[in-house]
A and B are shown apart, each in its own frame.
Chain A
Amino acid sequence: MKRILAFVLALCMLLALCACASEKEPAANDDTNPGTPDNATRHKIGVVLYGIDDPMAKTAYTYINHAAELYDCEVLWAIGDLDTAGQLKSCENMVSAGVEGLLYMPYDDSLNSSVSKLCAENEVYFATMFRSINDADIKAECEANPYYAANVHENDEEVGYFLTQCLADAGCKQITANQMSAANGFAYDRSQGCVKAAADNGMEIVGAIQNSGTGDAQEVINSMTNVLTLYPDCQGYFMLSGALGVGTTVINTLSGLGEKGFFKVAGFDTYEGMKKDFEDGWLVGMAGGCGPDALFSFICLFNAVDGTPLSDSTIWLTQKMVTVTSAEDCDVYEAYVDNADHLLYDDDTLKSLVGRFNPDVTLKDVEDLMALYSIEWIKEVTK
């Protein structure tokens, strides 16, 4: 009897709560007309990022927050999701929280399909950063969605080729590399660059270093040790990503296996302390500095949300990477690139890229600014 009563009570409670629920969204400012900067709508944009511990992520975080402050936009952050399901949950929760735009870095092409449907159903603009879309069907599906504002990604294959060339120039004939699937957009493009450069330089790629992308140091250490034991003639490592502490872990592991510089590393996603590793002869090339990718994705998304889109269709932009090949370059890099305390773009420049402050802005303005990006340009603007 008590159980029945308890059940009935619970059911009544649930029904009462559901009665409070409403299909109708809470009153929100539906005005997408940006108006003038002084009386413009304050938008809310959600951003999903894997973390803010490494320089690139920290820079992306700082750029977006700074731009949001300038544009009087509220940013909702979801940090720490390292799997597709987690990212999807965060996107859904943000849509529930009433964001008008969603910016995320997809770990997998398949997330784009799910988010595209979610955003289409809820009339939320979305943009992706740091990743292209490799799967043709998913790419077509996203591009057909009028809410897909922009995709900004790096010139991964080109830089992958360059970094492998650095290994070849350092005398490596046999190298190892990370193995990642074609479903992982950025990794596939970077790997393709490596494969092509290896073929052109007569290098052999052996073994495979495991890196699940979660920053699991032990996984990297074990994998490296195993590969170097199996392939004692291996001379170099093409590192797909040094983020999440992997770069430091790799060099620490190598330091315990032989004298300084006996093995060469070239890779993506810079990490703190790499200057010393260049000096010690471990590193022959690193590529990074793609923090502005997040900024330009955010700018394109904000324009779409604010009613001043830079294009009628999905914007595809390529963010150049900064390559570092010496300890001297590291000084400039660490001072001005991927340094959250120093932003490369001033407030006037950032405002000039948004329709609210500059009604004459075009997509070409954004492209021209992005095209300048290089270590030479950075040295120039920071003189």
Chain B
Amino acid sequence: MEKNKEKTMGLMKRFIPYAGLLLIVVVFALTTGGRFLTLKNLRIVTMQAMIPMIAAVGTTFVMAHNNLDFSLGGGCALCCVVAFRLTGGENLFLIFLLCMLTGLLCGTATSLIHIKGRIPAFMAGMCIMFIGRGVIDVAIMNNNGVMKLMGDVSFFANIRFYLVVLLAVVVVGYFLFNRTKIGKYQKLIGSNPVAAKLSGINVEKYKFLAFLVSGATLGIASLLTILRLGSLTATVGQGLETDVLISLCLGGMSMSGGSTSSIRAAVIGPLSYFLLVNGMTLWGIDPHIVYVVKAIVFLIMAFITVDRSKTKVVL
């Protein structure tokens, strides 16, 4: 009986994100006078969801082993600043390399602070967040005017290129997460780190690799951010970690990681989130209510997906 109940709950947790996405699409498709499912609107939503989606693919690795990465926003800012400063907004290929390198460095720094410094990962991530925000403020302050992308980047700054990048990231992410030790061991560590260690898994090494993957996807997300905005702004990357966290939750990712973690959360979650926001805008409802709805939806999904066997309540 208990086993059947658990099985049912497990199935529910797996399919609720799909059901949620379907519900969002159907409800808004029927109530927005045909505006929701136009190609133009779907294109816009896809462009908006793209960057958090790519960042979420990497973050899935970190969350799978039961950690939270708060470095995304600041890390994105850092990647953009480094790329712009060293290239002057020219040479997109160099910008991409610098974004990747900086992203990997951010991932490395976060993991080293967490693993070697024995500091909780979310705190380590916040350090990077503050550093990134500070650096970009200084960079913007010291620059006379707007730092823009030079040259014609229209070939890259469009949805086709973004979709190709997204597909590549998701496919590689899926492969790494489900077919290699890098991904499989994250789930094992997230389920039971002690058992994982006793099984001979080098927990620290794989945690480090998870942050490295997160850093790599952050680099790619930063490049797309630069392409989308066309320039460097003081608020670049702001709120990225929150968007990714909420999106992953909506996608069915358990906050405590473990064996139920899946890359699909990184795809379904951001889509659901941005479709929800888009749909509410099409409805024309009070913007303040949008925040309340987001909070409620997040709470509901977190309630459904959290693994209660691992959580403790301190009274």
Q: Using a CB–CB distance below 8 Å, which chain A residues touch chain B? A: 10, 13, 17-18, 20-26, 74, 76-80, 82-86, 88-90, 92-98, 107-111, 113-114, 122, 134-135, 137-138, 179-184, 210, 212
Known: A86-B238, A114-B229; 9 extra A-B contacts, CB below 8 A, are A84-B233, A85-B225, A85-B235, A92-B47, A92-B48, A93-B277, A94-B281, A96-B38, A183-B147
Task: Place the interface of chain B in its size category.
Answer: 35 or more
- Separation of A111 and B148 alpha carbons in the complex (Å): 11
Tell me if B44 and A107 are in contact (CB < 8 A): no
Identify the closest chain B residue to A107 (Cβ).
B235
29 inter-chain pairs at a CB distance below 8 angstroms, sorted by A residue, are: A24-B38, A76-B281, A76-B284, A77-B287, A78-B281, A83-B235, A84-B233, A85-B225, A88-B229, A92-B47, A93-B277, A93-B281, A96-B35, A96-B278, A97-B281, A97-B284, A107-B233, A107-B235, A108-B234, A108-B235, A110-B146, A179-B141, A181-B140, A181-B141, A182-B144, A182-B145, A184-B234, A212-B137, A212-B234
Q: Is B143 a contact of A182 with CB atoms below 8 Å?
A: yes
Q: Which residue of chain B lies nearest to A122 when distances are taken between CB atoms in the complex? A: B40
> Could you tell me if A20 and B37 are in contact, using CB atoms closer than 8 angstroms?
yes
- B146 pairs with A138, CB closer than 8 A: yes
CB-CB < 8 A to A17: which residues of B?
Answer: 25, 29, 37
B residues 227-246 near A (Cβ < 8 Å) are 228-236, 238-239
| Chain B contacts to A: CB under 8 angstroms | 18, 22, 25, 29, 33-35, 37-42, 44-45, 47-48, 137, 140-141, 143-148, 225, 228-236, 238-239, 277-278, 281-282, 284, 286-288, 291
Query: In the complex, what distance in Å separates the CA atom of A82 from the CA atom of B235?
Result: 8
* CB neighbours of A83 from chain B (8 A): 233, 235-236, 238-239
Complex CA gap A77/B137 in Å reads 29
Q: Which B residues touch A77, using CB under 8 A?
A: 286-287
A88: chain B residues within 8 A (beta carbon): 228-229
Which residues of B have CB within 8 Å of A110?
Answer: 146, 148, 229-233
Nearest first, the 6 A-B pairs at minimum CB distance are A83-B235, A110-B231, A93-B281, A26-B34, A79-B287, A181-B140
Interchain CA distance A8-B232 in the complex, whole Å = 41
**Minimum C-beta distance from A223 to chain B (A):** 12
Contacts of A20 in B (CB 8 A): 29, 37
Q: Distance (Å) between the CB of A124 and the closest chain B CB?
A: 12
